[in-house]
Structure 1
Amino acid sequence: MKPLAQQRILVTGASSGLGRALSVRLADAGATVVATARRQAPLDELADRHPGIETRILDLMDAAGLAKLCHTIGPLTGAVLNAGVTHVGPFNAGSDADDAAMVETNVMANVRLARALYTPLVDGRLVIVGSMAGQVALPYQAVYSGTKAFLQNFSLALREEWRDQVSVGLFTPGGIKTEMTDIEALSKLQNMLAGADEVADELMAFYLSDRALRIPGFVNRVSATATRLLPRPTITRIMERVYHREP
């Protein structure tokens, strides 16, 4: 892999949280970063503070906008597809609109981007950010868990298809302290969430490797191992208690 000073890397979901922290680290290491997000103001602030970061407005639910970005973005050496949305609460209390937004943003946007970026990324690196919710089913985040499980199989399958052209990897963090998780429904879990800066360090190291899969954090790796040792319904019952019942 080329040194970061010779790389131009796309990062989605870069206005806050993990995407922002990663963009800053890559730029500080000398890479040119193309940071995308829906909101202009955070992107402007990011570019003003950190030389080496280009910014593009991108709504992942806008298929035409995705196509335009990929057509005009120019040469890339890598991409980190990080953006995602969730909805926390009983499935029956959700809505078709919430579910469609999760499927479009977490699934279809990544599928479209991967396909469109194939040619710019030949001989480069593509990292898709999944979640432990794709490894361990989360009650009260049923649709979100489904989208992240899709990304796991999609990424690993794509890695084999593209193994001689593009190095594909899946990064699967647990909960991270971000705007997305700073909600009442997750208030009991705040002390279990990792800091975005800490996770970004691991994501950057993973990007620079040729590895297929990375689960950051000891507890997360233990949880992933448990899915191979315990019946999955048992693990799901445990997660139901973590997410829903009072301690």
Structure 2
Amino acid sequence: MPANQFAVVTGASTGIGLELAKCCAKAGFDLVIAADELAIQKAADELRSLGAKVEPVQADLSTTEGIDKLCGVVGNRPIDALLANAGVGLGKAFLDQDFGRIRRVIDTNISGTLYLIHRAGNEMLRRKSGRILITGSIAGFMPGSFQAVYNGTKAFLDSFSFALREELRDSGITVTCLMPGATETEFFRRADMMDTKVGTEEKDDPADVAKAGFEAMMSGESDIVTGFKNKVQTTVANVTPNELLARQHRKMAEPGTAKS
């Protein structure tokens, strides 16, 4: 791997995004990392300790202005790998949620992600070279009762990644969808889901998830569902009626289902 390969990782301050950035750093990529919080500076220091050249960007990735800020820092450097990982969740019943927070989930997970991919993807297309990793989720396989908007955004991203991959077939650009299950990150606390079963039960290691996703991207694979339990869950979801899936999801995500 040439030492001057260049990657952009979003949502890289903590969790899966930070671990993806570590994978890039260890593989010899220079990095621009982005998140909407000050912790992105600390993440940059950690990545520099691995020997990588890192530029952190604190920006609101739910807005076109935030994406433009990120792209401004990237400048004219050719992006060898875009790891579009930024995402937020939101728990509780849809009608009980603040609509401003609903919009932020949609704008971060979908609008901001697509705008960044559109900008970076066009630059890759001109060079006929590049790798794109999109962090979807196994949540996209099931109607997310008490997490309805989030699951809907992940269903969109899962679907979009396969469509984009086909459009870019033979272009020199690969598109890979990383589809983890529940992972031990700040996600559930930030989504106000610590009173739920899924929020309090044991979850996957973000380092393991990121390693699998990074390796799949580098191999040019179409998708990767991480963890045996999650692979079984997605297989079952494909043959289970949506009404039943929604009922099962309620048992995991409804407020008050946390283990005592």
TM-score normalized with structure 2 length = 0.87
Tell me which residue corresponds to 2:67: 66
Residue 113 of structure 2 is aligned with which of 110, 113, 122? 110
Query: Which amino acid in structure 1 is aligned with residue 182 of structure 2?
Result: G
Tell me which residue corresponds to 1:133: 139
Instruction: State how far apart, in whole Å, the 1-side matches of 2:15 and 2:189 are.
Output: 11
Give CA deviations for 1:85-140 in whole Å, capped at 9, x if unaligned.
11100111102111111110001011101111113323110011011111122210
Instruction: State how far apart, in whole Å, the 2-side matches of 1:68 and 1:56 are.
Output: 8
Alignment of 1:197-236 (within 5 A): 197-236=207-246
Instruction: State how far apart, in whole Å, the 1-side matches of 2:158 and 2:2 are.
Output: 26
Contact 1:67–1:116 (Cα < 8 Å) also in 2: no
How many Å apart are 1:185 and its aligned residue?
2.4
Instruction: State how far apart, in whole Å, the 1-side matches of 2:181 and 2:139 are.
Output: 8
How many Å apart are 1:141 and its aligned residue?
0.4
Alignment of 1:5-84 (within 5 A): 5-40=3-38, 42-51=39-48, 52=52, 53-73=54-74, 74-84=77-87
Query: Which amino acid in structure 2 is aligned with residue 149 of structure 1?
Result: A
Distance 1:134 1:9, change over 3 A: same
Query: Which amino acid in structure 1 is aligned with residue 9 of structure 2?
Result: V
Number of residue-to-residue matches in the alignment = 244
Contact 1:78–1:121 (Cα < 8 Å) also in 2: no
Tell me which residue corresponds to 1:179: 186
Contact 1:77–1:120 (Cα < 8 Å) also in 2: no
Structure 1 SS opposite 2:185 = coil
What are the ranges of 5 or more consecutive residues in structure 1 without an aligned counterpart? none
Contact 2:14–2:43 (Cα < 8 Å) also in 1: no
How many Å apart are 1:22 and its aligned residue?
1.4
What are the ranges of 5 or more consecutive residues in structure 2 without an aligned counterpart? none
Contact 2:144–2:152 (Cα < 8 Å) also in 1: no
Structure 2 SS opposite 1:202 = helix
Contact 1:12–1:81 (Cα < 8 Å) also in 2: yes
Tell me which residue corresponds to 1:240: 250
Give CA deviations for 1:29-59 in whole Å, capped at 9, x if unaligned.
221121111123x222222233212212221
Structure 1 SS opposite 2:219 = coil
Is it true that 1:142 corresponds to 2:148 in the alignment?
yes
Structure 1 SS opposite 2:7 = strand
Tell me which residue corresponds to 1:154: 160
Structure 2 SS opposite 1:181 = helix
Percent identity reads 31
Structure 2 SS opposite 1:5 = coil
Instruction: State how far apart, in whole Å, the 1-side matches of 2:236 and 2:243 are.
Output: 12
Query: Which amino acid in structure 2 is aligned with residue 45 of structure 1?
Result: K
Alignment of 1:79-94 (within 5 A): 79-94=82-97
Contact 1:4–1:26 (Cα < 8 Å) also in 2: no
Give CA deviations for 1:182-204 in whole Å, capped at 9, x if unaligned.
36624533333112112111122
Instruction: State how far apart, in whole Å, the 1-side matches of 2:247 and 2:201 are.
Output: 21
Instruction: State how far apart, in whole Å, the 1-side matches of 2:34 and 2:120 are.
Output: 15
Instruction: State how far apart, in whole Å, the 1-side matches of 2:180 and 2:2 are.
Output: 23
Structure 2 SS opposite 1:197 = helix
Q: Provide the aligned C-alpha RMSD in A.
A: 1.8
